[in-house]
Amino acid sequence: MKKTMLICGADGFIGRSALEYFKDSYDIVATIFNKKEPSRGRVDGIEYVSVDLRNENEVINLFDKKRFDVVLQAAATTTGAKDVVERPYVHVTDNTVMNAWIFREATRTKVGHLLFPSCTVMYQPKDYPQSEESWSPLDEIYPAYFGVGNMKVFCEKMCDFYSRIGETKFTAFRHSNVYGPYDKFDLDKCHVVPAFVNKVINAEESLEIWGKGQASRDIVYIDDLIDFIDKCIQHQESKYELYNCGAGQAYPILQLAKIIMKLNNKDLEFNFDLSKPDIPTTVILDCSKSKNDLGWFPKTSVEDGLKKTCEWYKENER
């Protein structure tokens, strides 16, 4: 008999990718937000539930539906640099509320293992890899990320708290910038890699770069992230763990743009738009703990990952 898995946010980037990966191994219930149909179509054999995870009663009813062996809490209000700068509050309240209800109900119903994607914005910008212990509550968080960074830290602490008082195992993982198929390619809401994929493929003469283009990013391909999640499920023994998940190196965003241009046979002139939001930070992840505990390391080169992303975009988004 298959184990049961709840994927919250199954219509999103990480959730849909996890659904494709785990669909043959688990009996899956997939949540979608206030929709009758998933935006990218149904996956055969999957039970879809439309639910507002910010609503306490709806979350209670969801967890009373059946006992889940695994919960992947991939539901979130997420956007890109534009909202981080102009509307930072959009990441804070909704995500805090939905995670509070989900973590509580997972503990109440004795879920076997809950996995929570955190982020890396609490880390100080550095030019060397940082481990899970590199950030302290005494450290300042980069101003543009103050709200979302503290929200994520609070949610990590909730995972730790509930792991101490119940039977549910929790994993919080700080992943770097994830990219690949099913990502958001809307320029007002997406991150740097999907933004460049969109812009390069549709550009004719020039490529718009927000700000001065001085930032670098640690990026991880979606298949490697889902493999990491699988290894956490298979190998984590303790009640709570916090892991980094990334490439372990930073790529200058202009280098990423050049790789994407080469993959698409484009020779574009850079057009730096200084009026657009720019977050010139560099965070590199030390993923030694993930490798030592779980045997995980990213297998996809940046060139292969970007090639697959471009091919998927051309087939599905244009």
Domain carrying residue 91: 3-180+220-246+286-298
Tell me: the pLDDT tens digits for 185-214? 988 878 899 999 999 999 988 898 887 887
Higher pLDDT residue, 281 or 161? 161
Q: Does 84 fall in a domain?
A: yes
- pTM score, two decimals? 0.93
**CATH code where residue 231 lies:** 3.40.50.720
* Short-list 95, 102, 100, CA closest to 121: 95
Please enumerate in sequence order all residues whose Cβ is within 8 A of that of 159, keeping only pairs 6 or more positions apart, or say none.
103, 114, 116, 170, 171, 172, 240
Q: Does 99 fall in a domain?
A: yes
Q: Does 133 fall in a domain?
A: yes
Q: Does 35 fall in a domain?
A: yes
172-199 per-residue burial string, b: 16 or more CB within 10 A, e: under 16: bbbbbbbbbbbbbbeeeebbbbbbbbbb
**Count of Cβ atoms closer than 10 Å to residue 119 Cβ:** 23
Kind plus residue range of the DSSP H or E element containing 96: helix 93-108
Q: What is the count of structural domains for the chain?
A: 1
Q: Does 315 fall in a domain?
A: no
Q: What average pLDDT does the chain have?
A: 93
Q: Which residues pair with 208 in a beta bridge?
A: 271
Q: Does 303 fall in a domain?
A: no
Residue 254, pLDDT score: 92
Residue 143, pLDDT score: 86
Q: Does 193 fall in a domain?
A: no
Q: In this structure, what are the phi and psi dihedrals at residue 110, rounded to the nearest 5 degrees?
A: 60, 45
Percentage of the chain modeled with pLDDT above 90: 75
Q: Does 70 fall in a domain?
A: yes
